[in-house]
Amino acid sequence: MALLEIDGLSFSVPARAVLEGLDLSVAAGEIHALVGTNGTGKSTLAYLIMGCEGYRAGSGEIRFDGRRIDALPLHERARLGITLAWQEPARFEGLSVGDYLRLGKGRMGAEECLHRVGLAPPDYLTRMVDKTLSGGERKRIELASVLALDPRLVILDEPTAGIDLLSIHEVMELIRTFKAGGAAVLLITHREELARMADRASQLCGGRIVCSGDPDTVAISYRGRACLKCNGKDCHDD
- The footprint of ligand ATP (CB under 6 A) covers 13, 18, 36, 38-44
CA 62 to chain CA centroid, Å, is 16
1: exposed, middle or buried (Cβ count in 10 Å: 0-12, 13-18, 19+): exposed
User: How far, in Å, CA of 103 to CA of 82, rounded?
Assistant: 15
User: Cβ closer to ligand ATP: 41 or 215?
Assistant: 41
User: Cβ closer to ligand ATP: 40 or 83?
Assistant: 40
189, 197 in Cβ contact below 8 A?
Answer: no
Least distance (Å) between residue 156 CB and ligand ATP: 12
Least distance (Å) between residue 28 CB and ligand ATP: 25
CA dist 126 → 35, 99, 147, 156 (Å):
36, 8, 19, 26
User: Cβ closer to ligand ATP: 86 or 124?
Assistant: 86
Least distance (Å) between residue 132 CB and ligand ATP: 26
Least distance (Å) between residue 74 CB and ligand ATP: 17
User: Cβ closer to ligand ATP: 34 or 110?
Assistant: 34
Least distance (Å) between residue 40 CB and ligand ATP: 4
- Phi first, then psi, for residue 61 (nearest 5°) are -130, 145
Q: How are strands ordered across the β-sheet holding 31-35?
A: 82-85, 153-157, 184-188, 31-35, 200-205, 208-213
User: Cβ closer to ligand ATP: 70 or 158?
Assistant: 158
